[in-house]
Amino acid sequence: MTQTTQDSNLIEVEAWIAGLQRTERAGYYVGEAHGRYAGKHPTLYLDTTIPSYLTARPSRDINTDRMHAITRRWWSEDRPRHISYVSDLVIDEARKGNSDAAQRRVEVVRAFASLHRSARSYELTDKILVQCRLPARVHSDVHHVAIAALHGINILLTWNCAHLANRHMIPHIRRACEAYGCAAPDIYTPEQLIGVCAYGRSDS
């Protein structure tokens, strides 16, 4: 990728963030939902995609760079508004892959309290897979939801839009959790959560 293309990509990402900040300063909500969590400090579960995008090197892909920027923006400005957790699954996944990248991820996640997998979380994961008609190979993706649900977490934050932050999957995830006797967390990407929480003024 040429320097001109990199500069153009960076300008686009910065323009999106600047527009978002102007909207918040004006007191408007960002996104379609109202400030559901305004004035609160909801519990939040970070799946492995969040520290991965937070610590990743710059990408040649404009969409990936945009996700990096949004993640960093949410992390620095809005994360303190939540009580955040990871899990032993997140820590295990963060340790995989390139050693330098893994070290950066682990340094991020070890700062948070860790929730633990259990026989019940494995059982609930299996039920969600069946309800969503997902293959066994995405068991770990779905296991994040089960862990969060069984610990009563309010929000699961993820960039996994294929299996988790997916409007077609979420109703099935909720039904599986309800049938198991627990409530599913609300599942959002960082971009979606900025709008739902309405981190700007909540009295508009």
Statement: residue 203 has pLDDT above 60? no
Q: Is 41-197 in CATH node 3.30.70.1140? A: no
Domain boundaries, the chain: 41-197
At 148 the pLDDT is 98
CB of 156 closer than 8 Å to CB of 186? yes
Tens-digit pLDDT profile for residues 74-107: 999 899 989 999 999 999 999 999 999 999 999 9
Model confidence, pTM: 0.81
Tens-digit pLDDT profile for residues 102-130: 999 999 999 999 999 999 999 999 999 99
Tens-digit pLDDT profile for residues 51-63: 999 999 988 888 8
Of 105, 109, 112, nearest to 84 by C-alpha is: 112
Concatenating the DSSP letter of every residue in 170-200 gives HHHHHHHHHHHTSPPPEEE-HHHHHHHHT-S
Tens-digit pLDDT profile for residues 2-53: 555 555 555 555 655 555 554 444 443 333 444 566 556 899 999 999 999 9
Partner residues linked to 44 by β-bridges: 84, 155
At 23 the pLDDT is 44
At 33 the pLDDT is 43
Of the pLDDT bands very low, low, confident and very high (cuts 50, 70, 90), residue 202 is very low
Tens-digit pLDDT profile for residues 133-189: 999 999 999 999 999 999 999 999 999 999 999 999 999 999 999 999 999 999 999
